[in-house]
C-alpha cells in the first residue's frame, strides 16, 4: 500500500460498522498511521475508541481520501457533512450499495473524483472481493490508491462501466447468502439421510469451505474441477444428474432478481 499521500494529507472514514472496521484494521496492520485517519461514527465500538484514530473530531482541510462506508439509507443525511471537500482535491470512495456515481456527484460537485466500490461480506475476514468503477474525474492514480485501500479486505477487480455494478451486486455482493443457504440445504439433506443435525451441519460447512479452498488454489476451471472429482457412473455423477439440470437456470434467475433489485434501489 502506498501510504505517503494519505500519511501526509490524512483520510476520512465516514461510518465504521463491520465493513468499516474490517478496512480500518487492515490499514492499521499495513502500517497506515492511526494519526492520519479521521473517523466519523456516531456509535463507536470499544475497539474503535482504543484504536488511536481521530474519532468524531475536527476534520483535515484537504484529506487525500474520504471513504464513505455508511448504509445507503443513511447516505443522504451523512454525505452533506463532507460536501465542502468536493471539487477535486479529495478522492471520494463509496462502498454504499445502490448509490450511483451521479447521485454522489450531485452532492459533491461535478469536478469531484469519485470511485464506487462493491465489497462483499467475506471482506469482514479479509477474504472478500471488491469491484470498482470511477467517474470521469477519477485518474489512474486514484484507482490505484482505491485498490490499495480495498486490497486489505480481499481481491479487487475493475469494471468497464457502472451498469455492471448491478450484476456484481447480484453475483458477489449477495452471493455469500446463496452459499450459506446451500450449506443449510446440504445439512438438511444429510439429516434426511439419517445424520444427526450437528454432524450434518459440520460436514456441510467443511465441504463448502474445502471446495472453496480447492477452487482458490487450483489453476483448473470450476468445470474441470467438477470433472476431476466425478467418476463415471459413480456416486457424485448420480447426484449431479439430479442437480445440474436445475441449478444453472435457478441461479440465473436468482442473480437476475438481485441485480434487478439493485437497479431499482439506485433510482
3: pLDDT strictly greater than 80: no
- The set of cell numbers assigned to 255 is 442473480
131: pLDDT strictly greater than 90: yes
d(CA 267, CA 263): 7
Write out pLDDT tens, residues 24-76. 999 999 899 999 999 999 999 999 999 999 999 999 999 999 999 998 788 88
Cα of 197 vs its chain's centroid, Å: 32
Delineate the domains of the chain, giving CATH numbers in brackets.
Answer: 4-165 (3.40.50.720), 173-265 (1.10.3730.10)
Write out pLDDT tens, residues 77-122. 888 889 999 987 899 999 988 889 999 999 999 999 999 999 999 9
Q: Are 104 and 80 in contact (CB under 8 A)?
A: no
1: pLDDT strictly greater than 70: no
Q: Collapse the DSSP code of 97 into the 3-class scheme (helix H, G, I; strand E, B; otherwise coil) and give the result.
A: coil
> How high is the pLDDT of residue 88?
79
d(CA 99, CA 95): 9
Q: Are 186 and 204 in contact (CB under 8 A)?
A: yes
2: pLDDT strictly greater than 70: no
Write out pLDDT tens, residues 209-227. 999 999 999 999 999 999 9
Write out pLDDT tens, residues 156-199. 999 999 999 999 999 999 999 999 999 999 999 999 999 999 99
d(CA 77, CA 73): 8
**What are 11's strand-pairing partners?**
37, 65
**What are 130's strand-pairing partners?**
156
Q: Are 28 and 6 in contact (CB under 8 A)?
A: no
d(CA 179, CA 208): 8
> How high is the pLDDT of residue 148?
94
Amino acid at each position: 500500500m502506498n501510504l505517503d499521500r494519505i500519511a501526509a494529507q490524512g483520510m476520512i472514514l465516514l461510518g465504521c460498522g463491520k465493513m468499516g472496521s474490517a478496512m480500518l484494521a487492515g490499514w492499521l496492520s499495513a502500517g497506515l498511521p492511526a494519526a492520519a485517519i479521521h473517523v466519523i461514527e456516531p456509535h463507536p465500538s470499544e475497539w474503535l475508541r482504543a484504536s488511536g484514530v481521530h474519532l468524531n473530531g475536527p476534520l483535515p482541510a484537504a484529506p487525500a481520501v474520504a471513504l464513505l462506508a455508511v448504509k445507503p439509507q443513511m447516505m443522504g443525511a451523512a454525505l452533506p457533512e463532507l460536501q465542502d471537500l468536493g471539487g477535486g482535491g479529495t478522492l471520494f470512495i463509496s462502498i454504499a450499495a445502490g448509490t450511483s456515481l451521479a447521485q454522489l456527484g450531485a452532492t459533491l460537485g461535478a469536478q469531484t473524483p469519485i470511485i464506487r466500490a462493491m465489497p462483499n461480506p467475506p471482506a469482514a475476514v479479509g477474504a472478500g472481493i471488491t469491484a470498482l468503477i470511477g467517474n470521469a474525474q477519477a485518474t489512474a492514480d486514484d484507482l490505484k490508491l482505491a485498490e490499495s485501500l480495498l486490497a486489505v479486505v480481499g481481491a479487487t477487480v475493475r469494471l468497464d462501466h457502472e451498469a455492471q455494478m448491478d450484476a456484481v451486486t447480484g453475483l458477489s455482493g449477495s452471493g455469500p447468502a446463496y452459499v450459506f443457504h446451500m450449506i443449510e440445504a446440504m445439512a438438511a439433506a444429510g439429516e434426511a439421510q439419517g445424520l444427526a443435525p450437528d454432524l450434518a451441519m459440520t460436514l456441510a460447512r467443511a465441504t463448502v469451505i474445502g471446495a472453496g479452498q480447492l477452487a482458490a488454489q487450483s489453476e483448473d476451471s470450476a468445470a474441470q474441477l467438477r470433472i476431476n472429482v466425478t467418476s463415471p457412473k459413480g456416486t457424485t455423477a448420480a447426484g449431479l444428474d439430479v442437480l445440474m439440470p436445475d441449478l444453472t437456470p435457478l441461479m440465473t434467475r436468482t442473480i437476475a432478481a438481485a441485480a434487478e433489485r439493485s437497479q431499482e434501489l439506485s433510482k
